[in-house]
Chains A and B, each alone.
Chain A
Amino acid sequence: MQTILLRQMQKGQTGIIRAVKVGGELGRRIREMGLIPGAQITIHGRAPLNDPVAIRVMNGTLTLRNSEADYIQVEVQ
């Protein structure tokens, strides 16, 4: 068990969000899409230039930029 940033996760890797360290508009956007502490996420893939990243959460697929993923800490196996 270790906690890493979402950006550092590999394709196909699964983890549990531990913290979302951002407020304001970005924080709210991230949370309203279901990226909250306790949510399980899986890296679905990365865009051709490695950024943005696509993730699965709560039965849906989301995409966000790596710079936005940097605020999300994930606990992985």
Chain B
Amino acid sequence: MTRQAIMALAGNPNAGKTTLFNQLTGARQHVGNYPGITVDHKEGVLEHQGTRITITDLPGTYSMTAYSVEELVARDYLISHRPEVVINIVDASNLERNLYLTCQFLELGVPIVIALNMMDVARDRGIEIKADRLAELLGVPVVPIIARSGFGKEKLIDEALAVAGKVQPWQPRDISYGDDLNAAVADLVTRIEAARFLDGLYPSRYVAIKYLENDEQLLVKGRDTDPATAAELEAIVNTVCEHTTKTLDVYPEAIIADHRYGFIKSILRQGVMTHKFDTDRLYTSDRIDKVLTDRLIGPVIMLAILFGVYKFTFSWSEWPVARLEDFFGWLSAAIETILPAGLLKSLVISGVIDGVGGVLGFVPLIMFMFFAIAILEDSGYLARVAYMMDRIFRIFGLHGSSVMPFIVSGGIAGGCAVPGVMATRTLRSPKERMATLLTVPFMNCGAKMPVLALLIGAFFSDNKAQYMFLFTMLAWIVALLAARLLRSTVLRGAPTPFVMELPPYRFPTMRGLLIHTWERTWQYIKKAGTVILGISIVLWAMMTFPQLPVERLAGYEALRQNVAAGELQAIDKRQAEEALRHSIAGRIGIAIEKVSHLAGFDWRTNIALIGGFAAKEVIISTLGTAYSMGEVDTEQTDSLGERLKKDPNWNRVVAVAALIFIMFYAPCFVTVVCIAREASWRWALFSIGFNTVFAFILAVLVFQIGSFFHLG
């Protein structure tokens, strides 16, 4: 039987962790989600000299506190899965800070092997590191590697396997935290051991440190399992805390951090690290930053790059999107001829094929967008975008990184909220991310554009371009203000600390980009796909059932017999209208007319708006059917526009009210499903309710005020 080994890969963000993971496992990876949260769970397999090794890629973190989900995931994984060895990747060119996390692994006692990455970069910067000396002082194996080229990975795995082979209990390292705290730690450890506190799941010294660090997760766990001991421990910590704040004006957690760095420094000074030349030398990365984050040129270049991403996502994906449409069009046509007319045919074509086509139609968009974002992310530029945009987005309770999802969703008119919602993954601040997620559907996506064009073309044909621009600006303003509103109500709370690294610029590797793009796209197909197909069938049923009673159908048949061939089409259209009005969607549209007339919408508009939940461009075709005009092509809406202009229920005020409502009401259900996948179904339902109410209030205001002043 082949030997099995379980390993975990951990390290700081930007230390090259993902690159190493890809190098080690190649395409043999599996990406999932940790239950209930959006942190990716990545697992890969590799064979090494007859041993089958499973590696879990833990989220990149700087520390092991209980503040972010990434850190909690990493910590809980180590405690509950007890990997045989943790490969701790550290950036040799930024060793001191990277060892801060290492230090916490040592405190926990988990067996580690250090992968000293980017030795080449360090050398270029005049930093010489003696790996064997570092290994000797830390008491753990240290293997110099270059993750990008794969240099050193064989040796790394050899060393990791050697450690994994030694079955031994975890050996927590004692790091001195100064006289005040050492005494407290000793006192805490005695009590923890006496009470077998937390069932010995964690090393007692580690629990003591976490108590002194005021770690919420462990404090809660302690109170739950053993309230008496927990209270005792907390009392000791409070006494120490009072003492240190009085005498030194610092909290114990600050003292612990200082001593960890002290421990690291003392090691590095013992002949581990030498600087061959001045550390302040201007690195290439800094030279690039001089231009790219310049106060004047920087924003201009950034706008150009963001526009480039947008162009790349939506123009380059046109061809595959069109081919997919062709294919599904061909499939529908084929089935049209094969199946007899009737419900089954309608279900297959309008429910299933349109549904599957709807799911896959977004795939090229998502792939292109994630590819572009992966380039910005892997090169280090995305962090600069956040840096430059933060001052503006912070006003609205968002984060500098929010800019990308907004642009992709339609910040430049014509985007799409589906990739936009998925792009919020680059945000690591939970509240800011949620606010972004919920407000990006307000932007003018490509599917809303033909609807806007229809209404603007019909009612404001003289100033078409100006109105289009006006409504794009309005989308931005409303989305940002709505974000502000959410952040001061349901997502209330202090901003997540912005403190973040501006990593050195790097050339992304093609392999990394492709893996990145593919895993995110696949997650969309797998997770959103099935739900989207289901809902699309439900929507089809709502627009189809109940069908017209037999006598009405017979009536239309009779009419057909009596008229000339040229008028047959007109009868078809009238029948389609009546069938739609008779369906569930139609009945809902009629039922809510009492409320919707406050915003000037009649039942025909209502049905179209219900149809718009399937996809915003469906508003046009449904409106066409409701006005007995048959299927209206989204590219050719002049005739429908003329029809609306003549309709007594429509005027300029109604048009503006409808425009506003269409821009801001419930996102299409594909977006809703993506919100559910990225956040939760609760938030997805919230976005349907909140957006619709919000949009309706705006539309009513526009209609009532506009009508009062007779602006129509």
Contact = CB atoms under 8 A, between A and B. Distances in A.
Interface of A: 19-21, 23, 25-39, 42, 44-52, 54, 57-65, 68
Interface string B386-397: 011011101000
A58 B497 contact: no
B67 A61 contact: no
**Most chain-A CB neighbours within 10 Å: which of B95, B299, B390?**
B390
Contacts of A36: 254, 257-258, 261
Given A34-B97, A38-B261, 18 more contacts: A21-B249, A23-B214, A23-B253, A25-B67, A28-B63, A31-B254, A44-B502, A45-B293, A46-B295, A52-B390, A59-B93, A59-B96, A60-B94, A60-B501, A61-B286, A63-B387, A63-B498, A64-B500
12 contacts: A25-B67, A27-B254, A28-B65, A28-B257, A33-B97, A36-B258, A38-B258, A50-B391, A58-B94, A59-B93, A63-B500, A68-B499
B518 interface: no
Contact of A32 (B94, B257, B298, B388): B257
A59 B279 contact: yes
A58 B96 contact: yes
A44 B294 CA distance: 11
A59 B289 CA distance: 15
B94 A59 contact: yes
A20 B254 contact: yes
B647 interface: no
A46 B290 CA distance: 11
A33 B501 contact: yes
Contacts of B296: 48
A34 B96 contact: yes
A21 B249 CA distance: 9
B251 A27 contact: yes
Nearest to A60: B94
A47 B251 contact: no
Contacts of A64: 497-500
Contacts of B100: 32, 34
B257 A31 contact: yes
A2 B125 CA distance: 31
A68 B286 CA distance: 23
A65 B280 contact: no
A21 B289 CA distance: 30
A22 B375 CA distance: 36
A65 B261 contact: no
B175 to A, nearest CB: 15
Interface in B248-275: 249, 251, 253-254, 257-258, 261
A56 to B, nearest CB: 8
A57 to B, nearest CB: 8
B499 A63 contact: yes
Contacts of B392: 49
A26 B289 contact: no
B261 A51 contact: no
Contacts of A46: 295
Contacts of A51: 390-391
Interface in B39-93: 62-63, 65, 67, 93
